[in-house]
Amino acid sequence: TVEPHPTNEVFKDRYGDCRGLSLLAGSMLQLAGISSRICLFANEFGGDPQNGLPNPSVFEHVILEILMDGGHYFVDPQAKGFDFGQWPIAYDNAHLFVIEDQGYRFDNMPVSKEEDNAIVSASDITVNPDGSAVFDVRVRMSLEGSQAFRETWASTTDKNKDKFFERLEASFTQGGTMIKREVKGLENRYGPVNFSLKYIAPNAYPVANDMILLKEADQSDVSDFAGQKRVYPIFVASNTLVKNTNTYHVPEGYQVNFVPKDYQMGIDFMDVSADYRKDGQTVVVNTLTRMKRARVSPQRYGEVKAFRNELYKKNDQYIVLKAKSQVSPQAKDWVKKQ
């Protein structure tokens, strides 16, 4: 049946599906003097309901439209961990059938904010002459990733939590040692989860003769489209951001021999950039990958492949640290005179 449960039963049982919870939330808002409307919800990729025959099964979900402060806002009472004005990324541009006092209207969900879908990280890296390094890493997860982690963590046994940290340590330390680990934000209802890790990795960077080679992790990936031609458009559905700062501390006895050039590249659905800054015995690298909601026609397929190839070239570069000469200044002067 599509008939929802009475709101008093939903309140008493502290349980309800999307219909019951939306009706209950609407009733509670009404008591607070705030108007709201029921919205039938259909995923963007299921087709526009306006173009189909009348059928209640077209809509798979129910949310609320809240009227407040001269504006209107879409809220899902069933979506845990999302504050006012936030929603799962899968809701972007979803089709809505809004039931109004004197009729109805069709509408679409807004596209979620880039900052809600952002992953931001910073690493302080002390490099050693043997290629090992001490990493002090801080990561802020996206809102949706944070909430998914919260829900999984809350239902995970202590044994499996220990296994999670064991896998985390093995993945990051590469046979080294985890010095410190901390997770903040798990106890919060909203907002991002933050990880702080400090560890020693024994084989972090290759050493070649008197050089240490530092390579940034590939900051982005574009699918390897193997075909020579493309029939369908390339479509990116949502706006996301990955922002990272790595601060490298050069070991004593070494100097920075080479730093790649800064770059900025872009195509309809992606912007990427890398900024290298050398300051004495420190190199700071800021990288950014921004995915943008966009559609690229098949006719521009060649542009996408060319963009991907150029991006791979930019990513395949090294910061080179070279051991300082052990020859004394006096000896250097003698060699010059000869």
Name the least confident of 18-22, 49-53, 199-203, 241-245. 49-53
Write out the two tokens for 171.
């993945």
pLDDT band at 318 (very low <50, low <70, confident <90, very high): very high
Judged by average pLDDT, the poorest of 9-13, 140-144, 152-156, 257-261 is 9-13
- For the cut 50, the answer to whether the pLDDT of residue 33 exceeds it is yes
* Per-residue pLDDT at 312: 87
Structure tokens at 145: 């990733």
Give the C-alpha separation, 282 to 285, whole Å: 10
Q: Are 300 and 187 in contact (CB under 8 A)?
A: no
Confidence at residue 76, expressed as pLDDT on a 0 to 100 scale? 94
Which residues have C-beta within 8 Å of that of residue 16, sequence separation ≥ 6?
Answer: 4, 5, 10, 24
Is the pLDDT assigned to residue 52 strictly greater than 80?
Answer: no
Calculate Rg over the CA atoms of the chain.
Answer: 27
CA distances (Å), origin 191, targets 130, 146, 187, 239, 289: 40, 8, 10, 18, 22
In the predicted model, is pLDDT for residue 338 greater than 80? no
Residue 280 DSSP SS3: coil
Which amino acid does the sequence have at 39?
C
What is the DSSP code (8-state) at residue 191? Answer: S
Q: What proportion of the chain, given as a percentage, has pLDDT over 90?
A: 71
Angle at 255 between CA 254 and CA 258, to 5 degrees: 130
Specify the pLDDT at position 63: 96
Confidence of residue 83 (pLDDT cuts 50, 70, 90): confident
Of 331 and 229, the one with more pLDDT: 229
pTM score: 0.85
Q: Three-state SS for 27?
A: helix
Measured CA to CA, the distance from residue 122 to residue 136 in angstroms comes to 8
Instruction: Please check the confidence at residue 334 and state whether its pLDDT lies above 70.
Output: no
For 28, residues 6+ apart whose C-beta sits below 8 A from its C-beta are none
Instruction: Determine the pLDDT at residue 6.
Output: 76
